Amino acid sequence: MVIPAALAVIATLGSVPTTAAAASQNSAEVCEDICVDGVRAATHTGYDRVVFDLGAGPLPAVEATYGTSPSYMTPGGEPKEMLTRGSSYLFLSFKNAEAGDFSATNPTVESFSLPTVKATQLLFTTGSILGFSPATGFGITLDGPVSRYNVFTLTQSNRVVVDIYR
């Protein structure tokens, strides 16, 4: 009988992973220190929270700058502006962190309809160049009153948290 033998061959072929599937299963995100994997935001009583999810590795040092101008400088010294306009902006620089797959799996600009947080934007990511450590920059577009903000890191799972108080 030809039909059962053909079905056996087809069943065997179906169980063998293709090269592309095997490659995607074996490919892992690679960053020198830690990868920024995603961003999410939610509102709470009195504040909005933005969370940057990180991969495994040592937590980055985070520098934050608050201002009313949408302008920022890239690591190469090129002036640019935030794409989403608001009344103020919070710029974050994650030292010893890279975007990894972030730009492939997340939009560069992520919009939110929260009381204060309007959008986040991936501004830049660098690897180790000319002896400098990698860095990744994000901007948060804010609208409305901001009384203060708090930036901190958490583990299990690794993340950078930004609370923006109204």
- pLDDT tens digit string along 77-105? 899 999 999 999 999 999 999 887 776 77
| Tokens, residue 48 | 């909005």
Over 70: is that where the pLDDT of 13 sits?
A: no
Could you give the CA distance from residue 13 to residue 36 in angstroms, rounded to a whole number?
Answer: 38
More confident residue, 20 or 121: 121
* pTM for this predicted structure: 0.79
Share of the chain above pLDDT 90, in %: 64
Beta bridge partners of 38: 53
Residue 92, exposed/middle/buried by CB under 10 A (0-12, 13-18, 19+)? buried
Q: Which residue from 41, 62, 61 is spatially nearest to 51, judged by alpha carbons?
A: 41
Higher pLDDT, 123 or 14: 123
Q: How far apart are CA 7 and CA 117, in angstroms?
A: 57
| CB contact at 8 A, 60 and 137 | no
